[in-house]
């Protein structure tokens, strides 16, 4: 699940010297919430709709409405944009993007190629769609919880073999660490056909796996 398959290619950009009100207009017209800021072909910042909203002076200011409007109308993107932008590569995975987002509390990233050229932008919505496809959340499913799994070489293969032997179609399978042990909890997601779940559970138990029911 690489970023290059989910990003918006050739995104809309602005320059540092464009007026903030013009950037806001571009966002509204194109229904987007962030704009990469590019100068001489290089990414120099990013401005978000939130940046623009927060730029308005406080209502507690002593400035008159005319002075406020004047300040806002003269404000440029370079006065508001975030520099030192966190970026991703087209070859990074959506998991990489999620980790970065959690670390830096951001939801979208400009995408730069190996030469540092802006080639796309990926948003939290696109990342969510990728994860939905990865985990098959848009399909009907049955979930089997396999407890206390030691993920040695061949463990996943042995679980898959059980399903394949029974002719059961696997949607996805993933593991989650348990808090108090080095063992893992494995989630096996299968298509809900007849009583396939019961068959798989019975066979997994025979194989020695612990199933949470």
Residue 31 vs residues 50, 153, 176, 209: alpha-carbon distances, Å: 14, 47, 36, 50
Question: Domain range holding 31?
Answer: 3-133
Q: What is the CATH number of the domain that holds 37?
A: 3.10.580.10
3-state secondary structure of 188: strand
Query: In angstroms, rounded to a whole number, what is the distance separating the alpha carbons of residues 31 and 18?
Result: 19
Query: In angstroms, rounded to a whole number, what is the distance separating the alpha carbons of residues 41 and 72?
Result: 27
Whether the predicted model's global pTM rises above the 0.75 cut: no
Residue 8 CB contacts under 8 Å (≥ 6 apart), including other chains: 120, 121, 122, 123, 126
Q: Which among 114, 133, 152 is the end of a domain?
A: 133
Q: What is the pLDDT of residue 137?
A: 63
The answer on 125 and 179 residing in a single domain is: no
Confidence of residue 63 (pLDDT cuts 50, 70, 90): low
Taking all residues of the chain, what is their mean pLDDT, rounded to a whole number?
Answer: 87
Q: Give the pair of three-digit tokens for residue 44.
A: 């120099």
Q: What is the mean pLDDT of residues 181-185?
A: 86
Q: What is the CATH number of the domain that holds 181?
A: 3.30.70.260
Q: Which among 113, 133, 153 is the end of a domain?
A: 133
The answer on 44 and 114 residing in a single domain is: yes
Check whether 125 has a pLDDT greater than 50: yes
- Give the 3-state secondary structure percentages of the chain, helix then strand then coil, rounded to 5: 40, 25, 35
**Number of domains comprising the chain:** 2
């Amino acid at each position: 699940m690489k970023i290059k398959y989910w990003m918006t290619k050739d995104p809309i950009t602005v320059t540092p010297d464009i007026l903030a009100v013009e950037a806001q207009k571009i966002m509204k017209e194109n229904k987007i919430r962030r704009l990469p800021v590019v100068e001489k072909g290089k990414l120099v910042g990013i401005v978000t709709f939130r940046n623009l909203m927060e730029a308005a002076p406080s209502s507690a200011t002593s400035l008159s409405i005319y002075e406020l409007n004047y300040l806002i109308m003269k404000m440029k993107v370079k006065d508001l944009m975030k520099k030192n932008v966190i970026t991703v590569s087209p070859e990074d995975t959506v998991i990489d993007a999620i980790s970065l987002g959690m670390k830096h509390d951001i939801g979208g990233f400009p995408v730069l190629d190996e030469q540092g050229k802006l080639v796309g932008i990926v948003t939290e919505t696109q990342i969510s769609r990728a994860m939905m496809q990865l985990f098959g959340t848009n399909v009907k499913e049955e979930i089997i919880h396999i407890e206390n799994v030691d993920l040695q070489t061949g463990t996943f293969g042995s679980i898959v073999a059980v399903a394949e032997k029974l002719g059961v179609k696997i949607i996805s399978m993933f593991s989650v660490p348990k808090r108090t042990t080095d063992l893992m909890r494995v989630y096996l997601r299968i298509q809900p056909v007849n009583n396939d779940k019961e068959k798989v559970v019975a066979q997994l138990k025979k194989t020695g796996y612990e199933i949470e029911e």
